Amino acid sequence: MLRLLYNDSESTFEQLLSIDNTFTIHEANIQKLMTEMYKAKTHIGPSLLQDIFRDPLYRGPNLRNRVHFIKPNIKTQKYGERSLEYFGTMIWDLLPPKIKEANSLEEFKLMIKYWKPNKCPCYLCKHFVKGVGLVDICNCDFCH
């Protein structure tokens, strides 16, 4: 669709997304997940999300790297590393502090819609190399 819109058959999909200032579906879904986590953090979301993304209940002095959610201990890939709870906390840690500390949901939504994760740690963003296993996908010009 972007190729038709910009009449450009030379650019890569990533370059077209950059020209259009848009995101992949995967990145948009991550933004939506972060919005739901912000709601859980501020206790304005459904209680189900607050049960999944749990507050560490630390009420001491503010630290430089405040922990907003309890990161689960993982034992398996299927129920640990690939779980929503683990994935959400991993992505939340990638958010800049300015976005995490937004004063309102509206402010958070405004900032998150321009953010995308750098080196997404999810299973979908890795690929299988025979004899090696799952590896991060490199987005550098040298590899592509």
pLDDT digits (tens, 9 = 90+) for 5-25: 878 888 887 787 777 777 888
Q: What's residue 106's pLDDT?
A: 96
Query: Mean pLDDT for the chain?
Result: 78
Which of the four pLDDT bands, split at 50, 70 and 90, describes residue 58?
low
Identify the residue with better confidence: 35 or 79: 35
| pTM for this prediction | 0.70
SS (H, E, C) the chain: CHHHHHCCCCCCHHHHHHHHCCCCHHHHHHHHHHHHHHHHHCCCCCHHHHHHCCCCCCCCCCCCCCCCCCCCCCCCHHHHHCCHHHHHHHHHHHCCHHHHCCCCHHHHHHHHCCCCCCCCCCHHHEEEECCCEEEECCCCCCCC
Residues of the chain with pLDDT > 90, as a percent, come to 21
Identify the residue with better confidence: 53 or 115: 115
Residues of the chain with pLDDT > 70, as a percent, come to 74
Q: What's residue 128's pLDDT?
A: 56
Q: What's residue 130's pLDDT?
A: 61
Whether the pLDDT of residue 42 is over 80: the answer is yes
